[in-house]
Amino acid sequence: MFEIKNRDSNELVPVLRPLLSGFKGSSIEASRELRTISVRDFPENIATIEDAIKRLDVVRSARAADPDVEMTIHVLIASNDEGGGNDYPASLKDVITQLKNTFSYKNYKLLTPIFHRTRLNTQQIVGAW
């Protein structure tokens, strides 16, 4: 049985489970209330899991725990219209060149950009359509 001091024991179990032997009777269980993880396996596997817990059960800073993730998606429309101009941001020039070399479309226009910002391990998503 291992005492978990800095992390949620339930979050560690999926990371540690692959270290089990898979032999009949081997198991790993977490108790959030007791802040423990109990392991049943061969001694060498338990030693490996103990080493992993020592490396994983560390204090995480708030900034490192929840970094922001930002994503910009450009939705383009491709066409073979002769008169259509290429209307897209300059930052997409290399992408458009590659698209033109891959596909047979002559023109590309930006339909809309989509911006998403979120934090890892949360259900919150802030977006602009």
Residue ranges of the chain with per-residue pLDDT less than 70:
61-67, 83-86, 119-129
End residue of a domain, out of 40, 59, 78: 59
- Quick one: 72 and 116 in the same domain? yes
- Quick one: 54 and 32 in the same domain? yes
- Quick one: 47 and 84 in the same domain? no
- Quick one: 17 and 52 in the same domain? yes
- Quick one: 49 and 83 in the same domain? no
- Quick one: 50 and 74 in the same domain? no
pLDDT for the residue numbered 101: 92
What's the DSSP call for residue 122? Answer: S
pLDDT for the residue numbered 120: 64
pLDDT for the residue numbered 94: 92
69-85 per-position pLDDT tens digit: 788 899 999 988 876 66
CATH code at 11?
Answer: 3.30.1370.120
- Quick one: 121 and 72 in the same domain? yes
Question: What is the span of the domain harbouring residue 55?
Answer: 2-59
Token pair in block for residue 41? 């396996």
End residue of a domain, out of 59, 76, 103: 59
- Quick one: 74 and 124 in the same domain? yes
- Quick one: 26 and 73 in the same domain? no
End residue of a domain, out of 59, 85, 104: 59
pLDDT for the residue numbered 65: 56
Q: Give the residue from 71, 79, 72, 83 showing the smallest Cα distance to 96.
A: 79
Domains: count for the chain: 2
pLDDT for the residue numbered 121: 59
**Helices marked H in the chain:** 9-16, 43-56, 62-65, 93-102
pLDDT for the residue numbered 129: 47
